[in-house]
Homo-oligomer: A and B are copies of this chain.
Amino acid sequence: MDKYQHRKGKAAVKIKTPDGQPLKNAKVEVKQTKHRFLFGCADFSVVPFVNNEFSDELREIVQMSFEKFVDLFNFATLPFYWGRFEPVRGKPDTQRLKNAAQWLKERGFVLKGHPLCWHTVTAPWLLELTNEQILDAQLGRIKREVSDFAGLIDMWDVINEVVIMPNFNKYDNGITRICRQYGRIGLVKMTFEAAKEANPKSILLINDYVVSDAYEILIEALLYAGVRFDVIGIQSHMHQGFWGVEKTQEVLERFSRFGIPLHFTEVTLISGKLMPPHIKDLNDYKPENWLSTPECEERQAMEAVLFYKMLFAHPLVEAITWWNFIDTFAWLGAPAGFVTKDGRIKPIYSALYNLIKKEWWTGTQELVTDQSGTLKVSGFMGEYEIAFKDKKASFTIDKPECTVEVTL
């Protein structure tokens, strides 16, 4: 049995010439050009990079890194942390983000904005408002970003970490206040309705790092309450060690029970010393210099391959996003990226490249059309290019069986 069967499809490609005749008995070349599956990464340095804010050596490292980034991924997460996006009320950072989104879109990326509602890094000025005003500002903010970016960004992490949101007590913040007042389910419902209203075509995620019963019950409750969301987002920041096969399977099993697509939204496996297990909030760990070492880089690569294989083999998983590409900009200063601080590419890059662009990629095939000008193409779902002499056309395989027509 092929454990990746659900990732593949067969297309009957009917080829016609410009005058409408079937292109009979012709030798053509077919190759995949893009994955349907979303292989993603979040590296927020793309924003200053695209906006030309880096200089000298750092600029060179970032430039080289994003070339590699573009070669490997087809999906990117862009930062919309409210406290950074709109530190002064009424002055959102829309243009810089649009520039970054445009740059990535031109390179074929699907884009996701993260997050629209979260208690961390939220706007500090919310604290001066009443709860009713905070809610208004939150829903207005959602509608503004989702409409401003429609067409560029049509996928959003609408609400982040709502499981702990009302109990978050490290510091006072506007979002915890309204989550307490309106309840988790009430707040989720309102934020998703606002986003859907602003862009009815958008794909909307709920996202959490809690993978226990608590998140599962929240999802059950949202479905029971008729709250519509498109994707269950699951974080997996494994700074304290790889989940391993058993936990990964267990999480997949529990969250697939709803029959809703799963995105692994924030994957971290580090190439350095693991964070000690006694740390409960990852933010509390602050080593002076968190080194990437050759042994740990091998471990990172091996674990990543195993993790990606398990997720790719599961029919409900539709996206995997690595959390940060360049160590210089990685969350918590962890050696979590594919590129070290001094610009060296770690083994994980070629390990995942071998999966994504080789093992799980349908390379060039030479095929011959039949008497009716038709040929059968089998391969991983995604976009394909078909070439006959100097002519090219494209088609998509997005179902187990499909029929497409192209003109060459």
Q: How far is the CB of A135 from the nearest CB of chain B, in Å?
A: 17
Q: Which residues of B contact A319 (CB under 8 A)?
A: none
In Å, the complex CA distance between A352 and B180 comes to 36
Q: How far is the CB of A247 from the nearest CB of chain B, in Å?
A: 13
In Å, the complex CA distance between A213 and B165 comes to 10
**Other contacts beyond A167-B216, A185-B220: 5, CB < 8 A:** A163-B217, A180-B257, A213-B214, A214-B217, A221-B224
Residue among A164, A220, A225 with max Cβ neighbours from chain B (10 Å): A220
Within 8 Å of chain B (Cβ to Cβ): is A210? yes
Q: Which residues of B contact A218 (CB under 8 A)?
A: 217, 221
Inter-subunit contact A224/B254 (CB<8 Å): no
Q: Which residues of B contact A163 (CB under 8 A)?
A: 213, 217
Copies in the complex: 2
In Å, the complex CA distance between A286 and B337 comes to 46
The 4 closest A-B pairs by CB, nearest first: A221-B221, A214-B214, A213-B214, A185-B224
Q: Which residues of B contact A166 (CB under 8 A)?
A: 257
Q: Which residues of B contact A347 (CB under 8 A)?
A: none
Inter-subunit contact B254/A220 (CB<8 Å): no
Q: Which residues of B contact A220 (CB under 8 A)?
A: 183-185, 221
Within 8 Å of chain B (Cβ to Cβ): is A186? yes
Within 8 Å of chain B (Cβ to Cβ): is A212? yes
Q: Which residues of B contact A221 (CB under 8 A)?
A: 185, 217-218, 220-221, 224-225
Q: Which residues of B contact A217 (CB under 8 A)?
A: 163, 184, 214, 217-218, 221
